[in-house]
Structures are given as C-alpha cells and as structure tokens.
A = this chain, B = another copy of it.
Amino acid sequence: MKKGHQVTMKEIAKKLGVSVSTVSRALKDSPELHPDTKKRIVEMATSMNYQYNLLAQSLRISRSKVLGVIVPELTSHFFSSNISGIQDTAYKRGYNIMICQSNESFEQEKANLKTLVSSQVDGLLISLSRETKSYEHLQELYDREIPFIMFDRVTEEIPVSKVTVDDAHGAYLAVNHLLQQGCRKIAYFSGPTDLYISKKRKEGYLEALQEFGIPETESRVYVTDLTEEMNRKVTMEMLAEGDRPDAIFAMIDPLAIDVMIVLKENGIKIPQDIALAGFTNNPTSAVVEPSLTTISQPGYEMGQLAANHLLDQLDEIVPDDPQSFILLTTLVERNSSQKSTTA
C-alpha cells in the first residue's frame, strides 16, 4: 500500500506566490510576519489539509522530540504503569516515545539500544534486563553523550541519573510488619542473587531482623529464578524441611502468589500457619484469597518523574550531573499477614 501524497510547504508557497520561508514562518507563528500574510497562509494550509513533517524538522534542527524507552517486558503491570507515566508526561511536553522491550534478553537490549540511537531519539529511559550483567553498551552510550537515565532496574556502574524505589526500606517495612505480627522465623524468597533488587530487598530484610535481635545466622533465604516451576519447587523444598518458617517475605508479588498457591495446596493456613508478604502491589494482590500484604511501588509516578527529569536535563532546566531519585514505598496491609486479628 502506498501512502498518499502529502502537501508540503513548497506547494502552499507556490499557490500563494510567496516563498517557503514565509510559509515556514507563518506556520510557526513568527512575529516578524505581516498578520495578513500569516492569515492567508494559515488558511491555505488548512484548506489544503497540510500536515507538518516532523521528520524534516528533526533532521534540520537535529532534535527529534522523541524519547526512547527500553523495558524488560511490556505486559508486566509495573512496567506498563511506568510507560504510561512516561508517555503522558512526554506527550504533555511535546515529545513522542518509541518503545522497545528487551524480553529480559541482554542481546535484545543491545539491539534495541542500537535502533533507538539510529532513530535519533533525543534521550533514553532504560530499565535493564535480568540478563544484563555487563555495561559496555551503556558506557558507550554515555561516552557518546547521548542523554539517558535508568529506572527501576539500574546499575551503579554508570554515572547517570536513576529513579528507583527504596527497595531496602520497602523490604524493611514488610519484614518489620511481619515481626510486629509476632513472627520470628521469617524466610526471604529471593530472585536471582545478582539482581539489584534481590540484593537491596535482602538488605532491608536483614535490617529488620537485626532490629528485633535476630542475628543474620538465623536468616532463611531461598533463591529462585522466578519461573513458576522453580518457585513451586523451592516452596516445596522449604516445606519438606523440619523447621518451617512462620512467615515468608517474597521479593515480588508473582512469587508470593506462587508460594501462596503451593501453601494452600498443602493445607497450610495463611496467615495462621505461615504469614505472607510480597512486594510491588500488583492489581492481582488485592483479589487473591487471602488478599496479599505487599509493598506498593508507585509505577506511574516513577515514569513521570523519570521522564520529567530527563526532559529537564535535555532542556537544560536542570544540570547534567547524575541524580538519584528514590521513591517512597508504602506498606499495604492485607489479610495474608494479619496474625494478630485472625489468630
């Protein structure tokens, strides 16, 4: 299918017997143009159904007014909230966004980066894939002075601005809450140990334990690769052990829900036998039975903040030096952890 012909400034100019620059000025509402001329041109443009060509403008002014976004996956609620926040603020500030998903693959992430750079995006918002363990591609981006910032899945290796949530503190809140409920044998279900969030949330977990006088030697950490299969397996293994925990803090909600299902299958009462808390506050968490206590992460706000900060940097409203924004998480108390009221 061929795109139909698009009207250009040249054609408007010819019809009106003026020059293209005059047309350009009229459509830009330049003050140095005679109002009458401007009016004639604008009217003609409208009647000819003229559509501005952003591509041509971008090439000329070397600014595309497009932001590139790379996320691990589009379908996760958290990331789609991020994107929603990014899109809304970008749009408000006159920018479009181009989106790629790495599908948690390092190679894909590098490829995405390449096409977005080729597309001359003015800046990038990146959330790293799970596989990403080396950062040369980001370093290269940095060396090339292409503005970008990272959000949620970040690395400390590259000195650019970052937007994250206070993972450690969030975990602390969850575990502290479980401790308040009287639990003392609290397990931490972690994703892959090299993940930034696995580490940070473990920090918060340990901190809360310590505050209640529980030494690190008594911590109980279970690691899964976050596939449903592995989640089930690890939970089963935990159940098979002699000394069961009385509470579980799972690194992310989907993991918590997989754990919940296995516990229920095994006749274990939640929260009476084992209390449970997650992290993220996915919509699902509110409707599972029992509803899941979790840590709420402001995904949309994160996207907004990230986009606004990047645009501020681009527009030089704000200096270039890297800043770290850490958004607050809050505890969402639901039934899966209410020992005191249900016991």
Contacts and interface: CB of A to CB of B under 8 A. Distances in A.
Contact of A145 (B3, B56, B123): B3
Contacts of A146: 3-4
A53 B313 CA distance: 23
A171 interface: no
Contacts of A2: 145
A51 interface: yes
A1 interface: yes
Interface in A75-117: 75, 77, 80-81, 83-84, 87-88, 91, 96-101, 103, 114-117
Contacts of A276: none
B49 A144 contact: yes
Contacts of A88: 101, 103
Contacts of A55: 55, 58-59, 64, 119-120
Given A77-B77, A96-B115, A96-B119, A84 B101 contact: yes
A46 to B, nearest CB: 13
Interface string A30-48: 0000000000000000000
Given A49-B144, A56-B59, A99-B99, 20 more contacts: A1-B123, A1-B316, A51-B117, A53-B120, A55-B58, A55-B59, A55-B64, A55-B119, A55-B120, A66-B98, A73-B84, A74-B84, A75-B77, A75-B84, A83-B99, A96-B98, A96-B119, A284-B287, A287-B288, A288-B289
Interface of A: 1-4, 6, 49, 51-56, 58-59, 62, 64, 66, 73-75, 77, 80-81, 83-84, 87-88, 91, 96-101, 103, 114-120, 122-123, 140, 144-147, 257, 261, 283-284, 287-289, 300, 313-314, 316, 320
